[in-house]
Structure 1
Amino acid sequence: MAILSLGVSFQVGAVLLTGCVGGKNAAALSQIAYLVLGLALFRVFEFPVFTQGGGLSYVREPGFGYLIGFVPAGWVCGYLAFRNPPKLETLALSSLSGLGIIHGLGIIYLTLASLLGWLQTVSASYWELLLGYSILPMPGHLVVVCAVAVLSLVLRQLLFY
């Protein structure tokens, strides 16, 4: 039996789920810890924390801006998810806003890094990078947003908050 791939990693889903279930502080702090682990501790353990590795040189990767977006996205998602009692619509909108922040900051970083020459030797053009990092993954990310909204609603009802 074959499993259909969404073509995305579930890092974004983890950020949004942490915000919807754990709240703004848990989401932001967990993503800060994730970035520190990937940037600083990669050299110590040689364990690829991010999708394509880790270490301080990872800041020159085209996708690093999306990782930076995890921190404010988790915070905003958690803030919006806990403003009102949990409903599917509010959890979906809070997750969608988090996704927008991730892609917004990712695109800004990608644009600045391309214009200023920060990126490591990349053979792809800016438009190819934008297509690969934001446009093509968007349908899969929207499916993840829907799954996070449903899962977080169920978890919050099970946990009584």
Structure 2
Amino acid sequence: MFAASNQLLWSMIGLLLTMGGTFLEAYGINLPWNWSQQGIKTFSLGVSYQIGAVLLVGCLGGKNAGGLSQIAYLVMGLTLLPVFAEGGGIGYVKLSHFGYLLGFIPGAWICGYFAFKARPRIETLAFSCLCGLFTVHICGIAYLMISYLFPWRVGENLSLIQAILKYSWFSLPGQLVVVCVVTIVAYVLRHIMFY
């Protein structure tokens, strides 16, 4: 009973984090050795904290809580609640980049699976986050390829290579920075929570 209620709690936390992370842009700061000449300056990483929320719930709540939170997120977004970056509704499945959102489910599950296979160390948590991130990108690229084969796709007129560059390659550096942040936060919180 405790395990089920714990997973439900983490699923709800993951849902809220994913919804909030969708609209929270990730920023970085310039390197410390430049602070004396330039001061502390911020710059956009070109991504939101959405993927960070997906991976964090996997690292803290486990595979089932991670997967369930993302299923709830997709159901909410597809039933007209504007929780996706560009709104919501069933028409979202026609967007060529919808596969990245679908990839949140296996991405969070895989991240949670590996995060709890061993003691919470920086390396194991980083590995689990990277596995989850690459799962999201694999699902997104697969959906892109399928959407280019069939005529249901709507939206921008990009070639398949341009779409892969836009949705995967160009966002990957910022997402890797977010993965580093998630790894450290998950490491600290897992040790505070004693598991």
1:6 aligns with 2:45: yes
**Aligned-pair RMSD on alpha carbons?**
1.2
- Listed as ranges, the gaps of 5+ residues in structure 1 are 43-47
Q: Which residue of 1 aligns with 2:83?
A: 49
1:21 aligns with 2:60: yes
TM-score by length of 2: 0.77
Q: CA deviation at 1:121?
A: 3.7
TM-score by length of 1: 0.93
Matching residue within 61, 80, 85 for 2:114? 80
Structure with the higher fraction of residues in strand conformation:
2
SS of alignment partner, residue 5 of structure 1:
strand
More off after superposition, 113-122 vs 10-19: 113-122
Instruction: Give CA deviations for 1:7-30 in whole Å, capped at 9, x if unaligned.
Output: 012111100000001111110000
Instruction: Give CA deviations for 1:100-125 in whole Å, capped at 9, x if unaligned.
Output: 10000000000100111221142222
Q: CA deviation at 1:81?
A: 0.3
SS of alignment partner, residue 179 of structure 2:
helix
Amino acid paired to 2:124: T
More off after superposition, 121-130 vs 137-146: 121-130
Q: Which residue of 2 aligns with 1:97?
A: 131
SS of alignment partner, residue 194 of structure 2:
coil
Identity of aligned residues (%): 53
1:122 aligns with 2:156: yes
How many residues align structurally? 156
Q: CA deviation at 1:68?
A: 0.5
Higher relative contact order (CA 8 A, sep 6+): 1
Greater Rg, structure 1 or structure 2? 2
1:156 aligns with 2:190: yes
Q: CA deviation at 1:77?
A: 0.5
SS of alignment partner, residue 6 of structure 1:
strand
Q: CA deviation at 1:41?
A: 3.8
